[in-house]
Structures are given as structure tokens and as C-alpha cells.
Structure 1
Amino acid sequence: MRRVLLRTALASLALLTAALSADASGRRINPADAAENRINPMSGNLPACDDPAVLGQITSWFNSREAKFWGPLQAVAYDRIKPIGFRPLGDDFIPRRFCSGRMALNNGTLHRVDYSVRENLGLFGLTWNVNWCVSGLDRHRSYAPDCKMARP
């Protein structure tokens, strides 16, 4: 009985290893697994990090949250916007563009903002959306420590 279980376990492990085989970059080898080849395909075409629509969405959500819950802070400008990763999880995951930059607030302070633009996670899965974190202002520690979980 134990030999049968051992053989079954080894066969399962071999199948799992073959399915999860990856190249040197950690991405899966099988191109059929890519998000572009699904029944509901994803294009991988995402707006750039400094796209006004992306920064506008961050500004809108940040200003709304601050006004409703925390106080008078408002985002007024961005600089040093740069991409820090594109699809770092592999081709078979939802396409994401990771970005980082600085946000200037109305009180004169500068804070690092880390965000990702994610495909098909907007309204009804029809468009992209943004997941963001402002360093020093993650009061619920949703992306702790210091917005690290918002980065790749």
C-alpha cells in the first residue's frame, strides 16, 4: 500500500515539475499559458506610468480618501515618475506595469508613490485600473512595510 502511494506521489511530483518548468528568468516556457492566449485574452497594452489618466486616477482616489477620512491633504503634482517592472510575475499572470515616483502634497511635503496599472481589473473587467500606495500615508498598513507590497 505504501509503495503504491509513494509511486503515485512521485508521478504527481513529476507532472507538477514539468508543468511548472521555467526558463532562467523565472517565466514559464509554454507560450500557450500566456494571458494573451486565454479564452478571454488580455492584450498587455497598458498606459504608461506618466500617462495623465493614470496619474489622474491616483490623484482622484487619494484626494477623495484624504478628504473623507484623514484630513486636508491633497495631491498637487508628480515628478520622477519611472517604470520599475512590467509583468514581473510572468506572462501567464494578469499584465501589470509597476511604477514609482514622487507626489507633492498641498502642505509642501514630498512622498514616494508606488503603483501598478493592472489590465482588466477596472469596472466590469472592461478596462485597466490602478493600485497605489503613498509612503508615510499608508495608515492602515495595507502595503506594509512602507508600501513594499505595492512594488514588484
Structure 2
Amino acid sequence: MRTLFTSLKTFGLAAALAVLAFGQSAEAANPLELNFWLSGPRYDGRVAPCESALPTIISQFREKESTFWNSPLTITAYGRIHETTFRPWQSDNIPRRYCTGDVMLSDGKVRNVHYSIVEDGGFAGFGQGVEWCVTGLDRNWAYNPGCKAARP
């Protein structure tokens, strides 16, 4: 058994040396590979106001509850919607508007909702994306504890 491990170790060492000896050397990028037309993201900071994300949150909440949790819960009303902060970090980061408010659910309970509107955060980077969390209903613990990760 010991000779088997010894022979496997020497074979592995020989294979590594063969790859290094016969492999191609690294070369610098040619002018077409330098990406000289790609200047990087340009964020303008044009993020929609807090109220514009509410229809998205309502529809995504309904879909998540019915599809994944087999629950009839829906958001029936909302109130006290206000901005928490805008671009809380340095200006080179992706612009986000953080908001919070209250939502009334179909079971009669009022819960907090925390969400952010992200510039170019939609599907494949097109449009504005919305990340949200309803306190007490984060069943997959994506933003736990208490939706803390959904806030700045």
C-alpha cells in the first residue's frame, strides 16, 4: 500500500513538471484584448423616489408567498414610506436609495418593509432593481436578523 502512494506522488510530481516544461508561456494582451473601448460603469445617481418601487414590491411579495411558501398573504396597503438614506457610501459605489415604511398584510397585521432601489440593478443590469424585506416574513433568512441586511 505504501508503494502505491509513493508511486502516485512521484507520478503527480512528474505530471506537474511536464505541464510546466511543455506549456505555453504567458504573453501580454494584444490591442484588441485591452478593452480600450470599455471605460467602466458610469453611474449618474438617477434613482427613482421611494414610492415608485411599491408596485414592484407588492407583486414580488405576492409571487414569493404564493409560489415558494404556499401562503395566501398579500400586501393590501402601505404607509409612512420615507427615504432612509441615499448613497450612504463613497460616491464610486453603485447608487442606492434606501427606504422604509409600513405595510398592511391580508392577515390584518402591520409590518415594516425595508428596501433599496439600485441604479442599473435590474435584470442583466437594465433598469432599476429593487431589493426588499418584510420584517418577520424573511423565511429564507436572506436578510436576517430582522431584515437588518436590507438596511444601510
The answer, yes or no, to whether TM exceeds 0.5 is yes
1:95 corresponds to 2:99? no
Residue of structure 1 in register with 2:67 after alignment? 68
Counterpart amino acid of 1:99?
C
Q: TM-score, normalised by structure 2?
A: 0.71
Per the TM alignment, residue 39 of structure 1 is displaced from its structure 2 partner at its CA by 3.3
1:42 aligned counterpart, secondary structure: coil
1:50 aligned counterpart, secondary structure: helix
Counterpart amino acid of 1:57?
T
Q: Gaps spanning 5+ residues in structure 2: where?
A: 1-38
Kindly report structure 1 stretches of 4+ aligned residues shifted beyond 4 Å.
none
Residue of structure 1 in register with 2:41 after alignment? 40
Per the TM alignment, residue 40 of structure 1 is displaced from its structure 2 partner at its CA by 3.0
Q: How many residues align?
A: 113
Counterpart amino acid of 1:121?
G
CA distance in 2, matches of 1:40, 1:74: 37
Q: Gaps spanning 5+ residues in structure 1: where?
A: 1-37
2:65 aligned counterpart, secondary structure: helix
Residue of structure 2 in register with 1:109 after alignment? 109
Greater shift, 38-47 or 54-63, is seen at 38-47
CA distance in 2, matches of 1:148, 1:118: 17
- Select the structure of larger CA radius of gyration: 2
Per the TM alignment, residue 68 of structure 1 is displaced from its structure 2 partner at its CA by 1.0
Identity among equivalent pairs (%): 42
1:56 aligned counterpart, secondary structure: helix
Taking the TM superposition and a 5 Å limit, the aligned residue runs for 1:11-90 are 39-51=40-52, 54-70=53-69, 71-90=71-90
CA distance in 1, matches of 2:123, 2:141: 25
Q: TM-score, normalised by structure 1?
A: 0.71
